[in-house]
Structure 1
Amino acid sequence: MNNAELYQKSNTLQKRDALQCLEEYVKKIKWKYDGDRVIDIGCGDGSVTSSILKKFLPYNYKNLVGCDISEKMVKYAIDHHATDRTNFSVLDIEGILPDELRENFDHAFSFYALHWIKHQEAAFTNIYRLLAQGGDCLLIFLGHMPVFDVYRILARNSRWSYWLKDVNRFVSPYHDSQNPEKDIKRMMTTIGFTGVEVHCVEKSFIYTSVEALKKAVNAVSPFKIPAEMQDGFLEDYVKIVRDMQLIDHVNNNINHVNIRTNYNLLIVYGKK
Structure 2
Amino acid sequence: MNNAELYEKNNTLQKRDALQCLQEYEKKIKWKNFDTIIDIGCGDGGVTTEVLKKFIPSNYKKVIGVDISEKMVQFANEHHGDKRTVFRVMDVENTLPKDFRETFDHAFSFYTLHWIRDQERALSNIYELLTDGGDCLLIFLGHMPVFDIFRQLSRCSKWHPWLKNVDRFISPYHHSQDPEKDVRRTMAKIGYRDIDVQCKRMLCTYKTPEECKKAVAAVNPFKVPKELEDEFLEDYMDIVVDMRFVDEVNNNINHSVHVSAGYTLIVAFARK
Counterpart in the other structure of 1:125: 124
> Secondary structure at 1:200's aligned position in 2?
strand
Aligned-pair distance for 1:254? 9.9
Counterpart in the other structure of 2:192: 193
Counterpart in the other structure of 1:103: 102
Counterpart in the other structure of 2:5: 5
Structure 1 residue identity aligned to 2:266:
L
Counterpart in the other structure of 1:150: 149
> Secondary structure at 1:38's aligned position in 2?
strand
Aligned-pair distance for 1:36? 0.6
Does residue 28 of structure 1 match 2:28?
Answer: yes
In structure 2, stretches of 5+ residues that fail to align are: none
1:194-213 correspondence to structure 2 within 5 Å: 194-213=193-212
- CA–CA separation in structure 1 for the residues paired with 2:182 and 2:113: 15
Q: Percent identity?
A: 60
- CA–CA separation in structure 1 for the residues paired with 2:261 and 2:12: 13
When the two structures are superposed, what TM-score results if normalisation uses the length of structure 1? 0.98
- CA–CA separation in structure 1 for the residues paired with 2:155 and 2:242: 15
- CA–CA separation in structure 1 for the residues paired with 2:40 and 2:146: 22
- CA–CA separation in structure 2 for the residues paired with 1:216 and 1:244: 18
Counterpart in the other structure of 2:260: 260
Aligned-pair distance for 1:115? 0.4
In structure 1, stretches of 5+ residues that fail to align are: none
Between the two proteins, the alignment pairs up a number of residues equal to: 271
Structure 2 residue identity aligned to 1:141:
F
> Secondary structure at 2:27's aligned position in 1?
helix
**Cα deviation per residue 1:88-112 (whole Å; 9 max; x = unaligned)?**
0000000001111000000000000
Counterpart in the other structure of 2:271: 271
Aligned-pair distance for 1:205? 1.5
**Cα deviation per residue 1:155-189 (whole Å; 9 max; x = unaligned)?**
00111011100000000000000000000000000
- CA–CA separation in structure 1 for the residues paired with 2:100 and 2:191: 18
Structure 1 residue identity aligned to 2:242:
D
> Secondary structure at 1:74's aligned position in 2?
helix
Q: Could you list the runs of 4 or more consecutive aligned residues of structure 1 that deviate by over 3 angstroms after TM superposition? A: 252-255
- CA–CA separation in structure 2 for the residues paired with 1:144 and 1:30: 31
Counterpart in the other structure of 1:19: 19
Structure 1 residue identity aligned to 2:260:
R
Counterpart in the other structure of 1:162: 161
> Secondary structure at 1:163's aligned position in 2?
helix
Counterpart in the other structure of 2:93: 94
Q: RMSD of aligned C-alpha atoms?
A: 1.1
1:35-184 correspondence to structure 2 within 5 Å: 35-184=34-183
- CA–CA separation in structure 1 for the residues paired with 2:53 and 2:100: 20
**Cα deviation per residue 1:33-75 (whole Å; 9 max; x = unaligned)?**
x221100000000000001100100110010000000000000
1:205-224 correspondence to structure 2 within 5 Å: 205-224=204-223
